[in-house]
Amino acid sequence: MRAVLDTNVLISATLIRGGNEDRILRAWQRGAFELVLSRATLAELGRALFYEKLRRKRWVSEEEARLLLELLAAECILVPGKVAVKASRDPQDDMFLAAAVEGEAEYVVSGDKDLLSVGAYRGIEIVSPAGFVRILREAENG
């Protein structure tokens, strides 16, 4: 199973220990699914992860945040970002759908209402973090 995680999901994993987003990140680290990112989504995460207002609130240290970014870059399926998509009310969200199309992902996981309102795109389900935790649980339980 392949999934694209919106930046807000990855950021929330560093802010809320034990939350759905943290569970999703840990599931990826256990090999429960393959993570698809593009250069654009990885770059956005790199910027957002070190915003001053987020740095003060997250439970991971600066070093752990850097290591997370390096791990994501090294271990994800990194697509080149050559696919263009125009499907979301917010054009900034289209890069997640494009990464999913290019990386042949089954899911885009997001907490963004604009992206969630799309519902599905070209057979790719757009689900909330809670919804994806349920999907992972069902996959584990077979």
Find the domain containing 96 and state its range: 2-141
- Average pLDDT of 109-126? 94
Asked if 2 and 33 count as a contact pair (C-beta separation under 8 A), the reply is yes
Task: Determine the pLDDT at residue 92.
Answer: 85
Tell me what the pLDDT averaged over the chain comes to. Answer: 89
Domain CATH code at residue 11: 3.40.50.1010
Asked if 128 and 116 count as a contact pair (C-beta separation under 8 A), the reply is yes
Asked whether residue 24 carries a pLDDT value surpassing 90, the answer given is: yes
Q: How many domains in the chain?
A: 1
Task: Determine the pLDDT at residue 56.
Answer: 67
pTM, to two decimals: 0.90
Segment 38-60, tens digit of pLDDT? 999 998 888 887 767 766 666 66
Task: Determine the pLDDT at residue 137.
Answer: 95
